[in-house]
């Protein structure tokens, strides 16, 4: 087995139906086998590229600017006292 679907699904906050696990496992394993062809290339000492703009540390002035009104931000959410409602983190409190 190349990839443990229940474990990865848990890390990714996904719910995968039991009857779909083997399909995903087969598909993702074959893709992983394919991309492992990269090991044919010797990358000793090659630096990594994570972006291609050549820009570094782009910042703006530390000044507050107008932002989205609260009503616009929350009108599509389930709210509680005008805050986003989320599940409790500490279950007994």
Partner 1 sequence: MNNLTIKEARRQLKAREISSVELTKSYLETIKKHNEQLNAFITITEKEALAQAEEADKRIAKDESTPLLGIPIALKDLYMTKDIKTTAGSRVLENYIGQYDATTVMLLKKAGAVILGKTNLDAWAHGSSGENSDFGPTKNPYNTEYVPGGSSSGSPVAVAAEMALAASGTDTGGSIRLPASFCNVVGLKPTYGRVSRYGVIAMASSLDSIGHFTKTVEDNAMYLQVTAGSYPHDGTTPPVSVPEYIKNINAGVKGLKIGVPKEYFIEGLDPRIKELTDKTLKWYEGQGAELIEISLPHTPYAIEVYYIIQTAEVSSNLARYTGVRYGHDRRYLGDEAKRRIMLGTYVLSAGYYDAYYKKAMQVRTLLKKDFEEAFKKVNVIITPASPTLPWKLGEKTDDPLAMYLSDIFTVHANLVGVPGLSVPMGFINGLPVGMQILGPHFSEEKLFQVGHAFELANPVWKERPSL
Query: Least distance (Å) from partner 1 to the CB of residue 75?
Result: 8
DSSP 76: T
**83 φ/ψ angles, rounded to the nearest 5 degrees:** -120, 155
Encoded one letter per residue, x for contact with partner 1 by CB under 8 A and - for no contact, window 36-65 reads -xxxxx-x--xxxxxxxxxx--x-x-----
**Distance, CA of 44 to CA of 72 (rounded, Å):** 51
- Listed in sequence order, the residues at least 6 apart from 4 whose beta carbon sits closer than 8 Å to its beta carbon are none
Q: Which of 1, 15, 88, 92 binds partner 1 (CB under 8 A)?
A: 15
Question: Quick check: 8 binds partner 1 (CB under 8 A)?
Answer: yes
Please give the distance of CA 24 from its chain centroid, rounded to a whole number.
Answer: 18
List contacts with partner 1 (CB under 8 A).
3, 5, 8-9, 11-16, 20, 24, 27-28, 30-32, 34-35, 37-41, 43, 46-55, 58, 60, 68, 72-74, 76-78, 84-86
């Amino acid at each position: 087995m190349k990839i443990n679907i229940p474990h990865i699904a848990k890390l990714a906050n996904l719910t995968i139906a039991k009857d779909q696990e083997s399909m995903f496992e087969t598909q993702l394993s074959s893709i992983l086998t394919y991309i492992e062809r990269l090991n044919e290339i010797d990358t000793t000492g090659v630096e990594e590229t994570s972006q291609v703009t050549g820009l570094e540390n782009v910042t703006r002035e530390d000044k507050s600017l107008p932002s989205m009104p609260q009503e616009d931000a929350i009108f599509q959410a389930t709210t509680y006292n005008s805050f986003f409602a989320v599940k409790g983190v500490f279950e007994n409190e």
